[in-house]
Amino acid sequence: MEKRVTFSHKALPYLLVAPQLVITFVFFLWPASQAIWQSLFLPDPFGLSSEFVGLENFRFLFGDRYYLESFTTTAIFSLAVTALSMSSALLLAVMADRVIRGATAYKTLLIWPYAVAPAIAGVMWLFMFNPSIGLIAYYLKFLGYNWNHVLNGGEAMFLVVVAASWKQISYNFLFFLAGLQAIPKSLIEAAAIDGAGRTYRFWTIIFPLLSPTTFFLLVVNIVYAFFETFGIIHTVTAGGPERSTTILVYKIYADGFVGQDLGSSAAQSVILMVVVAILTVVQFRFIERRVHY
Amino acid sequence: MVEKRGIGFFLTHAVLILGIAVVGLPIYLTLVGSTVTQQDIIQPPLPLVPGPHLVKNYSDALFSGVNVPVMRMLANSMVMALGIAIGKIVISILSAYAIVYFRFPFRMFAFWTIFITLMLPVEVRIVPTFEVAADLGLLNSYAGLTLPLIASATATFLFRQFFLTVPDELVEAARIDGAGPVRFFKDILLPLSRTNIAALFVILFIFGWNQYLWPLLITTEPEMNTIVVGIKQMLPTADDWGNWPVTMATAMLAMIPPVFVVVVMQRLFVKGLIETEK
Amino acid sequence: MAEIKLSDLRKSYGRTEVLHGIDLEVADGEFIVIVGPSGCGKSTLLRMVAGLETVTAGSIEIAGRAVNDVEPKDRDIAMVFQTYALYPHMSVFGNMAYGLKIAGLSKSEIDERVQKAARMLELSELLERKPRQLSGGQRQRVAMGRAIVRDPSAFLFDEPLSNLDAKLRVQMRLEIKQLQRSLGTTSLYVTHDQVEAMTLADRLVVMNAGVAEQIDTPISVYEHPASTFVAGFIGSPAMNFLNATVGSNGASLDLTEGGSIALEAAELAKNGGRDVVAGIRPEHVETASSEKAQLTLHVTAVETLGADTLAHGGVNGPGTGFTVRLAGTAKVQEGDAVPLAIAPGALHLFERDSGRRIADV
């Protein structure tokens, strides 16, 4: 889409785009190209010099058990977060859409976890599940289950999934609710008159009409789980125990900053850029289709 | 609407209330944790109702904290969140204006350069971005906390989208009235964008406030920590019980500004959220 | 107050020329209506005069000054847009005052001018309202007001009434006419509505496909259309056209469909044998006794409108779509063969190939 009417001015447009372009170059494009460059080098252990190794860093990564494990961990983590937060949000949205009185109050009470930082969400869930002082850990012990996510990888994964999903419910809820409210009420009324029961109506009319929103949220949630949950992982488990919650982003951080393995961290960055690029393209493709829906 | 009565009505509300309870539980327990003593916490179970130590815990947190007074970290967070929100809005609205209302060589180049930032979240370029910021002397500075995060394709696209819906006749009328590009922007486009700016501000303020990874890297001195990052340092470690009530008070303090913004400006928030994803 | 002069004005988008050389001289205070079907280039022409579109070739002069490369604001014109283009965030007062403010007028003078225009347009009570709080007609007036306050040398109207309902359109049409008369400001008015064109214009410019087919007073355009296009575009119901050949003695028209129309005298002697298109307006025929009849209408449908009656059918046999408008509730029925006479001077002959006018007989 383009404007038919424009202004003509020689210098002004450049002046207007300059701030954004300068920042984009300095903090986005330059570092990204640095990452690509560095991914081709192997620094010596003291960081004094580095040797050009071509694609060796990548070859090493794809042979590295820990890196491949991290891929699996990320996949499990993001699928679990997406499934848990989307299904609970959909349930709540469907219920809120049915409510006539008090709908706004429910909405207000459900949306604000969006405003909570992932790291803070992590701290709060940690407080509930802390093996020695957490209230829920305490009651689990009371019921005979010995909760200790500090030692048990499965429990650690469970905890970060729950914390990450908790925070994302608001977002999904809002979009599902907006999607539900956009479905013409006459359709639902027509189906009701046709004799379709409530559940049947949901699966045959509402859910299919909601599919654009669902697909959109699917992509958004995967992106969220990939990139925006660092704060949760860092505060709750720090990737542990035994790397059981080390998702890709956390590994880049750990290898680059904690492990000081710059070549490998850069190579991981490059791989992740490709992942983001693919997700972005999917998202845009999809949004184009959504417009025509 | 097909209204349901009786059992269905009851069930609907029951599910919603249960949902709110689950969503609210962590926050309620955090609140409880911030009003009791350390002793109450380290001898589980945690009491289920708030205790009497609210004022003491919060003032301890605000004025002394663990490493640094939380007041200081709150101020840092506020500077960062405002800096990011305002900075993003300013540079985005300017570049969107240039891209929509002018034809100039390299226009498409500028557009795609901005577009590509969508594919480069800070999480994937952690180390080199940190190096650039360090080389520029931005460590432990407000500029370092904000500048690298204020380029945003999303905000630029949002404004571009909005500008494209502004009727061409308005520009023409303004030109006949004698308004040049700067006047048109200031007198007409900017006032028309008010709601969009406000909605975007809400979203970006929360985005800025909740940043974690970048401030974690760029701030090495506790005095420059934001509250979201600082709280990690307050958590107990293997050989330390920490100070749970103060930490929980800090968690509450870290939530209050963004939650306040969302609840008070709910309509703008929802608008912003949905528009930025279009 | 000013004259406007367009000389061989041309406009191209890329390689496509959309205006093929328009010449027009508008006298001071004259009301010119540019009319034509959509896509004929009329709006482009107006926007070029406004300075919103660049001039590809030719020249525009306003008040004797060439303005081809002058910014819109320096052309001393005001424009009323089809969508009104009111600034939605400004009050009525703000909308009217904006141009004056930019021009650097003093506060008191701005106030005086806006108040005066508001009184003229009966907007005085509405000055604090925002455009969205106004009705369509009121918005239209504000758009007019914004033009008036600037006291320009020329008003440019771009289909200003097309967003109004039929009743308001008639009312605003009269108001615009009166306003223009009392202000005496040179005006260019673009429309696709021939009624607006006929009622408002001192002179009409009938445009088709980037060419000004005819520039003349409304009545001349109606009575002596310069081409089949103009003849068909102006007038409702539209003029009837019949392909014909002029008889060798010029005393008859031999219709291609069969039959012929007898002419009074040997008026077209010098055009004998020429292929023509004959145009007859529906309202320029009347029933006649069979000996005076020039053609016979075989009626296939009748529409009774009250004041008059429209009879549709074929001439000298069924087939050709021919419409006549008969006064009052004429007693015509489907299936009738009605003998008709053509009013003197109301038979328009156009050259078959070019569509240009040959004569009116």
How far apart CA C62 and CA C66 sit, in angstroms, is 7
Query: Distance between CA atoms of A190 and A176, rounded to whole angstroms?
Result: 22
Answer whether A23 sits within 8 Å of B101, measured CB to CB: no
| Closest among C49, C77, C52 to C151, alpha carbons compared | C77
Residue A165 belongs to domain spanning: 64-292
- The pLDDT score that the predictor gives to residue A291 is 40
CA atoms within 13 A on the CB side of C64: 2
- Residues above pLDDT 70, as percent of chain B: 95
What band does A292 get if pLDDT is binned at 50, 70 and 90? very low
Q: C312 and C346 share a domain? A: yes
Residue A11 within any structural domain of the chain = no
CB-count exposure of residue B131 (10 Å: 0-12, 13-18, 19+): middle
CA C117, CA C356: separation in Å to the nearest integer?
45
Q: Give the pLDDT of residue B277.
A: 60
CA distance C84 to C38: 19
Tell me, what's the pLDDT at C6?
A: 94
pLDDT tens across the length of chain C (361 residues): 689 999 999 999 988 999 999 999 999 999 999 999 988 999 999 999 999 988 999 999 999 899 999 988 889 999 999 989 999 999 999 999 999 999 899 999 999 999 999 998 989 999 999 999 999 889 999 999 999 998 899 999 999 998 888 888 898 899 999 999 999 999 999 999 999 999 999 999 999 999 999 999 999 999 999 999 999 999 888 999 988 888 877 778 888 877 778 776 666 777 778 889 999 999 998 888 877 788 888 888 898 888 888 999 888 766 668 899 988 776 788 888 888 888 888 889 999 888 899 888 7
Please report which helix (H) or strand (E) contains residue C211, including its range.
Answer: strand C211-216
- Chain B contact for A12, CB < 8 A? yes
**B183 CB near a chain C CB, below 8 Å?**
yes
The residues near A93 (Cβ < 8 Å, ≥ 6 apart) are: A172, A173, A176, A177, A179, A180
Cα C176 from Cα C182, distance rounded (Å)? 10
| CB contact B30 to A (< 8 Å) | yes
C217 lies in the same domain as C267? no
Residue that is written with structure tokens 């004005």 in the block: C9
Q: Do A120 and B231 touch (CB under 8 A)?
A: yes
Q: Tell me, what's the pLDDT at A293?
A: 37
Residue B191 in contact with partner chain C when CB distance is under 8 A: yes
- Dist. CA A109–CA A129, nearest whole Å: 24
Q: Which residues in chain C are closer than 8 Å to B176, comparing Cβ atoms? A: 50-52, 72-73, 77-79, 99
DSSP category for residue C237? S
Residue A186 lies in a domain: yes
Q: Which residues of A touch B150 (CB under 8 A)?
A: 23
Last residue of a domain, one of C206, C232, C258: C232
Angle between helices C92-102 and C136-149 (to 10 degrees): 20
Predicted model pTM: 0.83
Annotate A243-277 with b (16+ C-beta within 10 A) or e (fewer): bbbbbbbbbbbbbbbeeebbbbbbbbbbbbbebbe
How far is the C-alpha of C285 from the C-alpha of C325, rounded, in Å?
A: 7
Q: How many Cβ pairs within 8 Å bridge chains A and B? A: 304
Beta bridge partners of A42: A51
Select the residue of C50, C83, C84 nearest B176 (Cβ to Cβ): C50
3-state secondary structure string across A131-147: CCCCHHHHHHHHCCCCC
Query: Which pLDDT score is estimated for C59?
Result: 93
β-pair partners for C276: C244, C351
Instruction: Identify the domain boundary among C232, C253, C278.
Output: C232
Of all helices (H) and strands (E), which one includes residue C224?
none
Is residue C299 domain-shared with residue C216, that is, in the same domain? Answer: no
Q: Does B103 touch chain C (CB under 8 A)?
A: no
Q: How many CA atoms lie within 13 A of B89 on its CB side?
A: 22
Subunits touching C (CB < 8 Å, at least 3 pairs)?
A: B
Query: For chain B (length 278 residues), average pLDDT per consecutive 10?
Result: 64 88 91 88 81 86 83 93 94 94 89 84 82 90 91 86 90 90 93 90 91 90 90 77 86 92 83 70
Q: For residues B14 and B20, give the distance between their C-alpha atoms in angstroms, rounded to a whole number.
A: 10
CATH for B57-276?
A: 1.10.3720.10
User: Cβ contact (<8 Å) for C85 and B167?
Assistant: yes
How do residues A242-289 score in pLDDT, each as one tens digit? Answer: 888 999 989 988 888 877 777 888 888 888 888 888 888 877 776 555
Specify the pLDDT at position B1: 47
CB distance A27–B132 less than 8 Å?
Answer: yes
Q: Least CB-CB distance to A124: which of B26, B44, B273?
A: B26
Q: From residue B147, how far is each of B87, C84, C189 by CA, in Å?
A: 8, 42, 53
- Mutation target to probe the A interface, by most A beta carbons within 10 A, among B119, B219, B271 is B119
- Predicted pLDDT of residue B3: 55
Against chain B, the chains showing at least 3 CB pairs within 8 Å are: A, C
* Paired residues of C244 in beta bridges: C255, C276
- Tokens 């299904």 belong to which residue? A87
- Residue-level pLDDT at C265: 60
Q: What is the CATH number of the domain that holds A140?
A: 1.10.3720.10
Please tell me the predicted confidence (pLDDT) of residue C98: 93
The pLDDT of residue A17 is above 90: yes
| B217 touches B148 (CB < 8 A) | no
Find the helix or strand (DSSP H, E) in which A123 lies: helix A118-129
Cβ atoms of C222 and C234 within 8 Å: the answer is: yes
Which pLDDT does position A105 carry in this prediction? 84
Q: Which helix (H) or strand (E) holds C162?
A: none
Q: Do C78 and C124 fall into the same domain? A: yes
**Residue closest to B111 by CA, chosen among B100, B120, B121:** B100
Domain residue ranges of chain B, discontinuous segments joined by +: 57-276
Q: What is the pLDDT of residues C149-173, one digit of tens each?
A: 988 999 999 999 988 888 888 988 9
> Are C251 and C139 found together in one domain?
no
- Both C81 and C151 in a single domain? yes
Task: Report if residue A46 sits inside a domain.
Answer: no
Asked whether the beta carbons of residue B172 and residue C51 sit closer than 8 angstroms, the reply is no
* A100 and B1 Cβ atoms separated by less than 8 Å: yes
> Is pLDDT above 90 for A215?
no
Residue C125, domain extent: 4-232
Give per-residue pLDDT as tens, A65-116: 888 999 999 999 999 999 999 999 999 998 888 887 777 888 888 888 888 9
How confident is the model at residue B273, as a pLDDT? 77
Q: What is the pLDDT of residue C266?
A: 61
Residue with tokens 């372009």: A21
Number of domains in chain A: 1
B202 has a chain A CB within 8 A of its CB? no
Q: What is the pLDDT of residue B239?
A: 63
SS3 readout for chain B = CCCCCCHHHHHHHHHHHHHHHHHHHHHHHHHHHCCCCHHHHHCCCCCCCCCCCHHHHHHHHHHCCCCCCHHHHHHHHHHHHHHHHHHHHHHHHHHHHHHHHECCCCHHHHHHHHHHHHHCCHHHCHHHHHHHHHHCCCCCCHHHHHHHHCCCHHHHHHHHHHHHHCCHHHHHHHHHCCCCHHHHHHHHHHHHCHHHHHHHHHHHHHHHHCCCHHHHHHCCCHHHCCHHHHHHHHCCCCCCCCCHHHHHHHHHHHHHHHHHHHHHCHHHHHHHHHHHCC
**B139 has a chain A CB within 8 A of its CB:** no
A58 lies in a domain?
A: no
C-alpha A26/C-alpha A10 separation (Å) is 25
- The pLDDT tens digits for A178-210 are 888 888 888 877 877 877 777 888 888 888 888
Helix residue ranges per DSSP H, A130-197? 135-142, 153-182, 185-193
- Cβ C256 vs Cβ C243: under 8 Å: yes
Structural domains counted in chain C: 2
Q: What percent of chain C has pLDDT over 90?
A: 55
Instruction: Tell me whether residue A91 is in a domain.
Output: yes
pLDDT at C44: 93
Contact flag C83-B167 (C-beta cutoff 8 Å): yes
